Structure 1
Amino acid sequence: MPRFRFTAGLIAGLFATSAIAAPATPATPAAPDVSRRQPQIDKIVAEISAKRIENYVRKLVSFETRHTMSDTSSETTGIGAARRWIKAELERCGAGTPLQVAYDSHISPVSARISRPTEIVNVVATLPGTQDASKERLYVVSGHYDSRNTDVMDATGKSPGANDDASGTAAVMELACVMAKHKFDATLVFMTVAGEEQGLLGAAHWAKQARAGNLNVAGMFTNDIIGSSRADDGRIDDKQVRLFAQSIPATKEMSDAVRQLVATGGENDSLSRQLARHTKEQGERYVKGFKVSVIQRHDRYLRGGDHMPFLEQGYAALRFTEPNEDFSHQHQNLRTENGKVYGDLTEFVDFDYTARVAKVNAATLASLALAPAAPQQVKVRTDQLVNDSTLVWQANAEPDLAGYRIVWRETTASGWQGSKFVGNVTEATVKLSKDNYFFGVQAVDKDGNVSVATYPAPLR
């Protein structure tokens, strides 16, 4: 079986503007319009189809079970048939585009949820970036195509997995097929992964490979249980999606970077929280009337998802999940008890809602892949007792860079409250106290595409 291999290329304001001091240049150039909607992103979002997503979900359900240890030889049932269909469909829709589709597989040994050595196969579609300075920067989006019943070891019983997680898999397939027709500066990786229900096995394998290969994964999203707008009590909420974003990792030992966040009160400025701010802003800009509700936790209680192995490898990673879950339609054997239907069936999926979540993904991924990289080596000078704040950073390498903007917020605020474009410089002073505000620096290109913000470390 062919396997996905990393190529050599991949490895290799709102407040007063007078608060900003003039930079050490003759004049600050006019700021690009960072609030305008990008026509390319509007086009991508408009192309996301609820009907195609529905067709993908129904096809995945038709394999009866996609349990990780289910049949791999049949052409009509089991996880083997499902992954071959996913790969063929991605190849079909990516024909004539640069989209590269391949398997990424490994053998998982016997473990708590694997009774025999089992091949875990991810289907990976890579859309290479077109800008030399950006193409080795990766953004990953995933959904898991395996399914399960009440008994996590039941590899033969019918397990449709329509919402968990054919919905996420279908969204990722739709994203790949639509976005393959467009060009981006950075590289996009669309993954449908296996082994999630058995312990996040497929995602963990890919994330470990990425870290071992020193890949620059600048952000990762997983879409898991994004298919229903109806809660277990019958309430309908189709106007928002939850976005889970980790602060600092709960580990016995802190890395230097994490220790620095804690020391400066920046627990809410982790890589994942910065990515979440960007996702909320872009998602709500392009999907009107739809809210991205940032949940400041790594995931729900008693549950986990494929973003977690990426977090463990030190990458920024987030999880999309519907606002109110109905647990009678998750991890349940198909049955009816006292008139109540149990099981993860297609009839409980809201395809229009799923498409809106996919549109949020599309807008965010496109904005990230079109924008410059987040600035590096950002620091705030702390060597003098002064009431303003001077930030310094390393220059970006993108040829279409217009400059940088400083963003800030009060220490009790979750989102950025003010901003100022300071031009193509590597140092700027803000007439706001570093003791009273949190700051970030963003890179801006000439089209107004903005990077994720970088939190400054103290510079003495």
Structure 2
Amino acid sequence: MKKLLFTLLTIVCIYKVSVAQSPVIVNKDSEIAGMVAEVSADSMKNYINKLVSFGTRNTLSSTTDAQRGIGAARNWILSRFKSFAATSGGRFTAKFDTSTYKPDGKRIDSTVVLTNVVGTLKGADPNDHRVFIISGHMDNMRSSVMDRSGIAPGANDDGSGTAAVIECARIMSKHKFPATIIFVAVCGEEQGLLGAGFMAANAKRDKWDIQAVLNNDIIGSNNSNETNIIGNTRVRVFSEGLSAFELTEQKAAAIRAMGLENDGPSRQLARYVKEVGERYVDNLDVVMIYRPDRFLRGGDHLPYQQQGYAAVRITEMNENFNHQHQDVRVEKGIQYGDLAEFMDFEYLRKNTAMNLSNLANMAKAPQSPQDVNIAVVALSNLTELSWKAPAGKAAGYYVLMRETTSPVWQKKIFTADTSMKLPYSKDNYFFAVQSVSATGNESLPVVPAVSRKR
């Protein structure tokens, strides 16, 4: 069995270290591939149309009207989650998570109860405390964030992200994973990331072991105004290079000494999202953007980053600002407003499938290796790496390599051991180590610390 596994994983990893890479042969986990195939453009369209039907989902809108406003929208999302729970064999649960905010003189003019809708797919391994989160915000806005009564479809911003969360929950709730996956439709994003801030702060207080947050915000349209670019084969992933969380002067000095300014947790997550997403979703190029977010905008991944968690924002490649934060109107022959007619549901399907494949691969993977070190004891053209096995069971490990100028990992080397000596100079490459399961699911990579011992 070990020989067969080694052969399989060796076949999976035909990589070249040169920048000009040959096509990579990868092994798809059949269970994940099956889930990806279930993602439905028709389902996404139905979700969007239902969300639009509530008239407005402004955070300040009615919470008591059964047909219109943020209250009706969140009740419907909870009902969808509860329907998934009913067929999950007890693994999936759904609830409201509420917080109260007082007027702030800025984006809240009256006391408001913010409500996140949270679905939790509990991990099957009681000793695996990892948590993976997919997020989209259910609230929306017109030209004025304080306009709680005007028509605000919010089809793409962020009906698209909310629909992705619902669709992933529908499909994944039928499966078991060692780790826990949380599906959340947050509120208060347009009022200042309030719902995500509340959840991230509580997670930190309660010591959740959040390994990754995939925040989806505006992922369903394929064209841009002004430049008139049209295309549904590329999606952006925004990530910060380094986290300022607990970045002491000593840690900053070590990062500079090793040249790891581009290797913070969120940037590593972005690399992972690109590799796995492109593995499972055809005709989709995941484009890493080396910024936490876009100019003049902010998303629900930022509060998690501020709490020290790895988090990224997933956003369409070509944005049309005529259909974001706009009153619905026709002006000089141009239709404004965030209407469903301007969406590309096949593109939304691909972006949702990309999210699902990453969540599933991370949650099925073993926990990351521990105490990963690179030996720096003498001048040498070799690289010596060592690590400790994670809690739980790993079938083996991937040692990752990339040239210092490469944005992505270029070579994977499988080993069943917890150390490796490589005929590559540590001065010329970056390295990391992943745990891998018997079905080829990789953990998030761990960059080695410097050890003065062999």
Q: TM-score, normalised by structure 2?
A: 0.91
Other structure's SS at 2:355 match = helix
Q: Aligned partners of 1:28, 1:76: CA distance in 2, in Å?
A: 58
Structure 1 residue 93 corresponds to structure 2 residue 84? yes
Q: Aligned partners of 2:329, 2:242: CA distance in 1, in Å?
A: 41
Q: CA RMSD, aligned part only? A: 1.8
1:422-452 CA-to-partner distances (Å, cap 9, x unmatched) read: 21x3322222111111000111112221112
Aligned to 1:116: 110
Shift of 1:199: 0.4
Structure 1 residue 30 corresponds to structure 2 residue 3? no
Q: Aligned partners of 2:142, 2:380: CA distance in 1, in Å?
A: 62
Structure 1 residue 455 corresponds to structure 2 residue 442? no
Of residues 360, 363, 371 in structure 2, which corresponds to 1:366? Answer: 360
Contact 2:136 2:186 in 1 (8 A): yes
* Amino acid in structure 2 at the alignment position of 1:230: N
CA, structure 1 residues 258+359, in 2 after alignment: closer, same or farther (shift >3 Å)? farther
Shift of 1:150: 0.9
Aligned to 1:228: 221
Aligned to 2:23: none
1:278-332 CA-to-partner distances (Å, cap 9, x unmatched) read: 1111111111121111111111111110000011011110111110111111001
1:195-274 map, 5 Å: 195-232=188-225, 233-249=227-243, 254=248, 257-274=251-268
Aligned to 1:167: 160
Aligned to 1:12: none
Aligned to 1:345: 339
Contact 1:404 1:421 in 2 (8 A): yes
Share of identical aligned residues, percent? 44
1:250-399 map, 5 Å: 254=248, 257-399=251-393
Q: Which runs of 5+ in 2 are unaligned?
A: 13-25
Structure 1 residue 147 corresponds to structure 2 residue 140? yes
Shift of 1:421: 1.4
Contact 1:261 1:269 in 2 (8 A): no
Q: Which runs of 5+ in 1 are unaligned?
A: 1-26
Contact 1:64 1:159 in 2 (8 A): yes
Shift of 1:251: 7.7
CA, structure 1 residues 147+29, in 2 after alignment: closer, same or farther (shift >3 Å)? closer
Other structure's SS at 1:211 match = helix
Of residues 42, 48, 52 in structure 2, which corresponds to 1:57? Answer: 48
CA, structure 1 residues 255+245, in 2 after alignment: closer, same or farther (shift >3 Å)? farther
Shift of 1:248: 1.2
Structure 1 residue 413 corresponds to structure 2 residue 406? yes
* Amino acid in structure 1 at the alignment position of 2:109: S
Tell me the number of residue pairs that the alignment of Structure 1 and Structure 2 aligns.
431
Structure 1 residue 191 corresponds to structure 2 residue 191? no
Other structure's SS at 1:227 match = coil
Q: TM-score, normalised by structure 1?
A: 0.90
Other structure's SS at 1:378 match = strand
Of residues 426, 431, 434 in structure 2, which corresponds to 1:439? Answer: 431
Q: Aligned partners of 2:367, 2:34: CA distance in 1, in Å?
A: 23
Other structure's SS at 1:102 match = strand
Contact 1:378 1:456 in 2 (8 A): yes
Structure 1 residue 176 corresponds to structure 2 residue 152? no
Shift of 1:336: 0.8
Aligned to 1:81: 72
Contact 1:32 1:447 in 2 (8 A): no
